[in-house]
Structure 1
Amino acid sequence: MMLGRKQSLKGDQVLADYGPEESLNESADIEWVNKLWVRRLMRSCALISLLSVSLNTPKTFERIPPLQYITFCCDLVITFLFTAEMIAKMHIRGILKGEVPYLKDHWCQFDASMVFFLWVSIILQMFEMLGIVPRFSYLSVLRSPRPLIMIRFIRVFLKFSMPKSRINQIFKRSSQQIYNVTLFFLFFMSLYGLLGVQFFGELKNHCVLNSTDPHKVTINSLAIPDTFCSVDPDSGYQCPEGMKCMKLELSRYVMGFNGFDEFATSIFTVYQAASQEGWVFIMYRAIDSLPGWRAVFYFSTMIFFLAWLVKNVFIAVITETFNEIRVQFQQMWGIRGHMTNKTASQILTGDDLGWRLVTLDENKHNGLAPPICQAILRSASFRLLMMGVILANGMVTATMHFKHDERPRHLFYENYYYIEVVFTIFLDLEALFKIWCLGFRGYFKHSYHKFELLLSIGTTLHIIPQLYLSGLTYFQVLRVVRLIKASPMLEDFVYKIFGPGKKLGSLIIFTMCLLIISSSISMQLFCFMCDFNKFESFPEAFMSMFQILTQEAWVEVMDETMLRTRQTLTPLVAGYFILYHLFVTLIVLSLFVAVILDNLELDEDIKKLKQLKFREQSAEIKETLPFRLRVFEKFPDSPQMTCLHKVPSDFNLPKVRESFMRQFVFEVEEEENEGVIKKICEIFDSKVVYRKQRPIKLLSSLPKVRHVSTDLRKAAIIYIINDSNNQRLMLGDSAVIPVPGKSPLNPQGTISSAKQLRIDQKKSIRRSVRSGSIKLKQTYEHLMENGDIGAMNRVSSSRSRPHDLDIKLLQAKRQQAEMRRNQREEDLRENHPLFDTPLFLVPRESKFRKVCQMIVYARYDARLRDPLTGKERKVKYKRLHRDGSLKLNKMLKILYCII
């Protein structure tokens, strides 16, 4: 173990471990800094330090004076503990020398920097308490890095083990994508910054009184409201009578910080407008000062590219990066869950179709209620009744309203109170009924039942007269949430978004931690500003940073902060808020979109299943013949018989008529007959050449008599029929194909038993392959993956599991549908001489009909090589105008269909 640990601390790490404090846990000689209780104490100290720095503001000390001494004592104790830990680790590891020196570890460097800022904060607070440093001093900025100590508490949850090469690959690909989209963003920012300087320049022309001195401009000299104007009389806004358009040379603290004076200011204005916050006022300012087409073109294209395109590109990149990280961190995130019933026990059972899981005692509960109550609880009527009651309660509550006509408040809800009592009692009885039927253990197994019980307790307290229409009213309103169960689609949708709470919950916690850290940092940066309530204490700072996160009037927060800082620090303040806004809007909010899209994304198997299911349904619809062909089903059969004298074994068998098959096909149901049929069929299937017996010499020659039993005759006929059907199937002909779940004989009497077709399947395939049939090979490989048509019956059992359906089965069923359609058409064609002749004018064997058929099928084919074999075809004609031949062919087709 020691050797393994020493190797893991060297440069070539096999696993990357982002939990530095656990690196020495497995050592036999554990130092006190690496003990579990010490690490937990340090994490608690990190949280207390964050709380202390969040309370360390002048305004907070004015409201609660004892907090100044409490925070000082807490910081002093925490600083001594962290300092002792740092010294102990330096002693164990070494400062600059050793296997893992302290100052060469990144996390140790972070811990040392936090200790340094803790000592700076203690010294600064001591000077403030002694009066050496004023209360509202800019030196409070030195405390701003202290909130980052929260990372020490968070990093314990970021521990994971993964090959270092894979981690480097993730960071490399993710950083490359983010780097590319950042360059894309900066390109458009720079482009529109330069265009803004060239298009608009300084926008300082205002309408002022005619008697205004340019060096003494007051607010009374401006128009009401303040209006920008144009010096050019042919464009922009013209000042009214008694006023003139004058360029004002005032400070930015008076004129505002946005504009297009130079490149830096233009970039600032472009980002502010691209955030879609106040961009309309900047556009109207440009329209009033310059020709209107410039502002319309500039701002419309800027909103399209920067506000919409770049933002969506960021979302796409973050979504793709998150998906890649999710795949790599599958062990950390866990497998995507499905809505399954975990309380039901399942056993593995098998039948003729295959193996499947069967729920065992799914309706068995541990409650004390009789079986009739159990049946009522499971019935759909009971659920519909409860949904109706909850819907009625919501509708009654929605009609409650108040009027300000000086009447007592209780008069408005007096009748509603008794209605609410009735609903509450009814729903409480529902909860008791479920507990009675399911038992306490069975009831509390479901989270939904826990939510129902919480609502029942809250609403029961709510109907107490002293608590009615108090804060407990929220429990009454939350009853409407139960209506989600009324719609399975809505329930599944809500589960996909909120069900996998590990990802969404972790992202919410990350966002809250980011808000807390950024709020505390901003509070320490700007709390020294007098009469500025945006960051005077932690609650105000938290609301200001959350306001920037929601992009609601975030420019106002930035402008007010810039107005209260020095002119040299104004660009730094603007950069701070812009970077924070860029991070939370383009990355953090994009993470929410990525997580929700990942939750809503269907599995690839389910997508393929739905697509193939739709194809299967469309293929099954095409099984029906057109109406003009179905007419012949109403006529009696009048087939034309053919006499078959001799069948050579070296050639494919011809088609066998259905009427001929019906006379000899028989079914074997009893098990004892199967052995007899099997022996008879083995006579024809056997490939063993038996040695003939030596003839016996007798005194008198016996008469030659052939004895053929009835079973042997039937087996011979079945053998011929099955061999013919197998070859028709493999050659793609419209023949019989076994259908899973069908009876051995269809309505036309066709054999559809896969068991009978497997008897001589291999022999037919072998013979056809020897004959060089390429079509047979393609069809056979496409339909049968394991050399067995009957496998489709076994695969059909997967329909009980909707996510494990074999795609091969659906493809086979699609071809079966087409073959069954062709089979029906062939049956009608064999049994009706006038088939497919709607007008009944031309006989089937008419010479005119044959001539038309020959002309139709003699179509033009420009291919000089056979597409299947690749050999050169013998073409009798060399040149023929293609368009003319196609038109003639189409006309002949129409004529042929008519006759």
Structure 2
Amino acid sequence: MPLADYGPDENLNDNADIEWVNKNWVRRMLRLCAFISMLSVSMNTPETFKVATKLIYITFAFDTVITVLFTAEMIAKMQIRGAWNGEAPYLKDRWCQFDGVMIICLWGSVLLQVFEMKDPDINDSDAAILRIVRAPRPLVLLRVFRNFFKFQLPKNRINSIFKRSSHQIYNVTIFFLFFMLLYGFLGVQFFGTMKHHCVENSTYDYTEDNLTLYNLSVPDTHCAENEGEGYSCPSGLVCKKLNLRPEIMGFNGFDHLATSIFTVYQAGSQEGWVFIMYDAIDSLPSWKAYLYFISLIFFLAWLVKNVFIAVIIETFAEIRVQFQQMWGSRAGAAQNDGSQVIQSDGTMWRLVMMDENKAQGLAPPIFQKVLRSNFFHTFILILVLLDASIAASLSFNHRDKLPEDKLDEFYYAEVILTVLFALEALFKIWCLGLRGYLRRSLHVFELVLVVGTTLHIIPVLYRSPFTFFQVMRLVRLIKASPMLEGFCYKIFGPPKKLGSLILFTMCLLVIASSISLQLFCFIPKFDKFATFPQVCSEPLSLEDYACGCVTLETTASPFTAGSAVVRR
């Protein structure tokens, strides 16, 4: 059956003497170059260069060398495979197209850095917008991990899967756009312009030139144009329409269809939608806002998003079924702890299933039976529950804490429980043997807890970080419910799969942070994307929120997120 490769194809030819680009050390070197390029673009910001001035020359040197290496690889592959014509032309392979785009971005980044080194003030001028050419560069990190994306399936099967999934994604996309347009039109018809604010009672018209914070209610509040339809301003303030630019008022609202669709998308992402709803409640009759936003959250934020997730899950499930049909199910082999051996009963030879976990220890058969009994497992679970209850009863007063050399009754209870759990581990080793005991990951986890809690009951180490081992005993309560145990295994899976998921999530976080860093690092008076650590971890402080309410001249808008946080 013909197989179709879906992944990076680096083994088209086997002549390693000629095709140096296919050698293993070259591939590893290029993956290392991709990782270094990712680090280089993460450090390539004006604020980072102000902190460490030599980094501009270091990043330039690395980018130049890496760009030359990637370009040489591209030229070699074009000579081997052909640029447009041939058995597997370079420009018709999608991974090669990706590599070509990355090379273009690398050359653009190197040339841009030449001008930055020649004219340092370019970072403060309008030409800083050219830094966007570096934005796609963090995607080069995919070269480090893309070998794990390679798989093979019969071409007709994979085409049917893609056709079916693409058709479903198309339907869900149309479904999503329909509700976006529907609520965009409804927003324009329901709310329209909401520009009325409570301002100081005065006879002159407020404009962006004469409006200050002292003229607004604190916090800033929308109000109803018609009395009784929404929020009424308190005494000393009057409801007036403020004709200010969108840069000051904010770009969300329901003034026209384009702005309304943008506002619907923002509300559908469930980010800041409550402030828009509060403004609608204050400006118009409240039932309109309740009906509109409750139904919007239900359809866009919950229904459509879950349908998208269901389509993706179904696609991966279909691929998994296709793999199982080709290679057979390996679940039985994975769950089987035994093996078949040939034995003779005196008359004939037969295959006999031998359980490797049985009768490998030194314990007599009666103790083997006790180990497998429900009474033993129930007793251990009761001990774990008792340990959890004792730990939950413990309270620690930081002001009147006990001296280091004085031990309380909780310590002696912990000593007794630690001894019992240590005896449990020794009993299992006696019954199963050391090799049979360590074969199961759960037994290894129990042994680590025994060692950690044994160190914990040493008086010098009692009030120390070793307490975490005592707390981790609660994980053993999962064994009390087979349904809960199976559910946790499905969620977390084997440690290898869980580690791969964490690594994949971290890579996406790093790539998204580096892209946003290059897109927004040159914005004046906006330092949240100045350096890579700020993009990844730094939250907004109370001072940042307060800056939104100081003066009209120092912020983009006194009516948006800053004042809304203070109000609600």
Instruction: Give the match for residue 398 of structure 1.
Output: 392
Instruction: Give the match for residue 207 of structure 1.
Output: 198
- Deviation sequence 1:584-607 (CA, Å, 0-9, x none): xxxxxxxxxxxxxxxxxxxxxxxx
CA distance in structure 1 between the aligned counterparts of 2:338 and 2:469, rounded to whole angstroms: 31
Partner SS for 1:22: coil
Partner SS for 2:219: coil
Greater shift, 519-528 or 300-309, is seen at 300-309
Instruction: Give the match for residue 483 of structure 2.
Output: 489
CA distance in structure 1 between the aligned counterparts of 2:189 and 2:479, rounded to whole angstroms: 60
Q: Offset of 1:376 from its aligned partner? A: 4.2
Equivalences for 1:349-498 in 2 at 5 Å?
359-360=353-354, 364-371=358-365, 373-405=367-399, 407=401, 410=404, 414-464=408-458, 467-498=461-492
Change in 2 beyond 3 A, CA 1:301/1:222: same
CA distance in structure 2 between the aligned counterparts of 1:426 and 1:61, rounded to whole angstroms: 59
- The counterpart of 1:115, out of the listed 83, 86, 103, is 103
Equivalences for 1:639-788 in 2 at 5 Å?
none
Partner SS for 1:17: strand
Q: Offset of 1:417 from its aligned partner? A: 3.9
Partner SS for 2:238: strand
Instruction: Give the match for residue 614 of structure 1.
Output: none
CA distance in structure 2 between the aligned counterparts of 1:125 and 1:361, rounded to whole angstroms: 66
Change in 2 beyond 3 A, CA 1:418/1:531: farther
Unmatched 5+ stretches in structure 2: 344-349, 540-544, 557-568
Change in 2 beyond 3 A, CA 1:125/1:241: same
Q: Offset of 1:391 from its aligned partner? A: 1.9
With normalisation by structure 2, the TM-score equals 0.82
CA distance in structure 1 between the aligned counterparts of 2:92 and 2:511, rounded to whole angstroms: 26
Q: Offset of 1:202 from its aligned partner? A: 0.9
Equivalences for 1:135-154 in 2 at 5 Å?
137-154=128-145
CA distance in structure 2 between the aligned counterparts of 1:412 and 1:205, rounded to whole angstroms: 67
Q: Offset of 1:301 from its aligned partner? A: 2.8
Identity between Structure 1 and Structure 2 (%) = 61
Q: Offset of 1:464 from its aligned partner? A: 4.9
Instruction: Give the match for residue 319 of structure 2.
Output: 325
With normalisation by structure 1, the TM-score equals 0.54
Instruction: Give the match for residue 170 of structure 1.
Output: 161
Change in 2 beyond 3 A, CA 1:324/1:203: same
Instruction: Give the match for residue 352 of structure 1.
Output: none
Equivalences for 1:157-196 in 2 at 5 Å?
157-196=148-187
Task: Check whether the contact 2:16–2:23 (CA below 8 A) recurs between aligned residues.
Answer: no
- The counterpart of 2:33, out of the listed 42, 45, 49, is 45
Greater shift, 81-90 or 408-417, is seen at 408-417
Instruction: Give the match for residue 524 of structure 1.
Output: 518
Instruction: Give the match for residue 243 of structure 1.
Output: 237
1:87 lines up with 2:75 in the alignment: yes
CA distance in structure 2 between the aligned counterparts of 1:172 and 1:251, rounded to whole angstroms: 47
RMSD: 3.7
- Deviation sequence 1:366-396 (CA, Å, 0-9, x none): 3344555444433444333322222222222
Q: Offset of 1:178 from its aligned partner? A: 0.6
CA distance in structure 2 between the aligned counterparts of 1:200 and 1:333, rounded to whole angstroms: 59
Change in 2 beyond 3 A, CA 1:288/1:325: same
Q: Offset of 1:332 from its aligned partner? A: 8.8
Q: Offset of 1:201 from its aligned partner? A: 1.2
Letter in 2 for 1:283: M
Number of equivalenced pairs: 535
Q: Offset of 1:490 from its aligned partner? A: 2.6
Q: Offset of 1:339 from its aligned partner? A: 9.7
Change in 2 beyond 3 A, CA 1:407/1:460: closer
Task: Check whether the contact 2:223–2:232 (CA below 8 A) recurs between aligned residues.
Answer: yes
Partner SS for 2:95: helix
Partner SS for 2:239: strand
Partner SS for 2:233: coil
CA distance in structure 2 between the aligned counterparts of 1:436 and 1:453, rounded to whole angstroms: 14
Change in 2 beyond 3 A, CA 1:428/1:217: same
CA distance in structure 1 between the aligned counterparts of 2:330 and 2:175, rounded to whole angstroms: 34
CA distance in structure 1 between the aligned counterparts of 2:498 and 2:317, rounded to whole angstroms: 14
CA distance in structure 2 between the aligned counterparts of 1:189 and 1:108, rounded to whole angstroms: 36
CA distance in structure 2 between the aligned counterparts of 1:414 and 1:69, rounded to whole angstroms: 61
Equivalences for 1:8-47 in 2 at 5 Å?
14-27=2-15, 31-47=19-35
Q: Offset of 1:83 from its aligned partner? A: 2.4
Instruction: Give the match for residue 57 of structure 1.
Output: 45
- The counterpart of 2:339, out of the listed 339, 345, 364, is 345
Instruction: Give the match for residue 563 of structure 2.
Output: none
Partner SS for 2:331: coil
Letter in 2 for 1:256: G
Report the structure number with the largest CA radius of gyration.
1
Q: Offset of 1:79 from its aligned partner? A: 2.5
Letter in 2 for 1:399: S
Equivalences for 1:505-516 in 2 at 5 Å?
507-516=501-510
Q: Offset of 1:336 from its aligned partner? A: 6.7
Q: Offset of 1:161 from its aligned partner? A: 1.8
Higher relative contact order (CA 8 A, sep 6+): 2
Instruction: Give the match for residue 300 of structure 2.
Output: 306
Q: Offset of 1:481 from its aligned partner? A: 0.8
Partner SS for 1:228: coil
CA distance in structure 1 between the aligned counterparts of 2:23 and 2:319, rounded to whole angstroms: 32
Change in 2 beyond 3 A, CA 1:378/1:173: closer
Q: Offset of 1:174 from its aligned partner? A: 0.8
Task: Check whether the contact 1:18–1:155 (CA below 8 A) recurs between aligned residues.
Answer: no
Letter in 2 for 1:184: F
Change in 2 beyond 3 A, CA 1:29/1:407: closer
CA distance in structure 1 between the aligned counterparts of 2:355 and 2:459, rounded to whole angstroms: 46
Change in 2 beyond 3 A, CA 1:263/1:399: same
